[in-house]
């Protein structure tokens, strides 16, 4: 069971980075500007798919691999949600403590993270992790209705 959960984490991690790469590349191609130029637009453009796509795929994985789908989906999704948000903040905090990229007058950790690496990383994105967990659980426990012909 633990091996299957870890494999689910790998599904989320791989699809997260693939989604991030795709969104950052598409943003530059569509808007003709770097991802860190317009925080609100780029954050929304990258953040929404990052909240949905990895956890949608994890829900599909969970529905195929586990018997107790809903509880497995909870464990497959909640740990990556918490770890991702904490890890991004911790790395940003440590970089700010180390002086960041030079002038750090009045720059908060959240501003540094959004400006340097993750424009989607807002308080809203952090809170919406709950939505990611719910998406995974809903997809994992979804059972399509089978139409039966009357006899």
- HEC secondary structure over the chain: CHHHHHHHHHHHHHHHHHHHHHHHHHHHHHHCCCCCCCHHHHHHHHHHHHHHHHHHHHHHHHHHHCCCHHHHHHHHHHHHHHHHHHHHHHHHHHHHHCCCCCCCCCCCHHHHHHHHCCCCCCHHHHHCHHHHHHHHHHHHHCCCCCCCCCC
Q: How confident is the model over 12-68, as pLDDT tens digits? A: 999 999 999 999 999 999 999 988 788 888 889 999 999 999 999 999 999 999 999
pTM for this model (two decimals): 0.85
Residue with tokens 């790469």: 21
Q: What is the pLDDT of residue 98?
A: 82
CA distance linking residue 75 with residue 136, whole number of Å? 10
Q: How distant is the alpha carbon of residue 89 from its chain centre?
A: 14
Residue with tokens 């007058």: 105
Q: What is the pLDDT of residue 2?
A: 86
pLDDT over threshold 70, residue 149: no
Looking at the chain, the whole-number percentage of residues with pLDDT higher than 70 is: 95
Mean pLDDT of 79-93: 93
**Which one, of 76, 117, 123, lies nearest residue 100 by Cα?**
117
Mean pLDDT of 97-120: 80
Q: What is the pLDDT of residue 151?
A: 63
Q: Which residues contact 139 (CB under 8 A, 6 or more apart)?
A: 55, 56, 58, 59, 60, 62, 63, 73
CA distance linking residue 124 with residue 48, whole number of Å? 11
pLDDT over threshold 70, residue 92: yes
When pLDDT is cut at 50, 70 and 90, the band that residue 131 belongs to is: very high
């Amino acid at each position: 069971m633990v091996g299957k959960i870890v494999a689910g984490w790998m599904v989320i991690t791989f699809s997260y980075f693939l989604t991030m790469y795709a969104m950052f590349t598409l943003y530059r191609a569509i808007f003709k500007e770097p991802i860190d130029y317009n925080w609100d637009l780029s954050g929304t453009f990258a953040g929404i798919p990052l909240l949905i796509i990895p956890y949608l795929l994890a829900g599909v994985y969970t529905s195929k691999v586990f018997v107790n789908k809903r509880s497995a989906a909870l464990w497959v999704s909640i740990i990556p949600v918490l770890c991702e948000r904490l890890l991004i903040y911790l790395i940003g905090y440590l970089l700010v403590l180390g002086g960041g990229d030079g002038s750090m007058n009045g720059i908060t950790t959240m501003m540094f993270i959004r400006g340097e690496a993750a424009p989607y990383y807002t308080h809203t994105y952090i809170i919406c992790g709950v939505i990611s967990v719910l998406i995974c659980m809903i997809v994992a426990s979804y059972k399509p209705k089978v139409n039966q012909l009357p006899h």
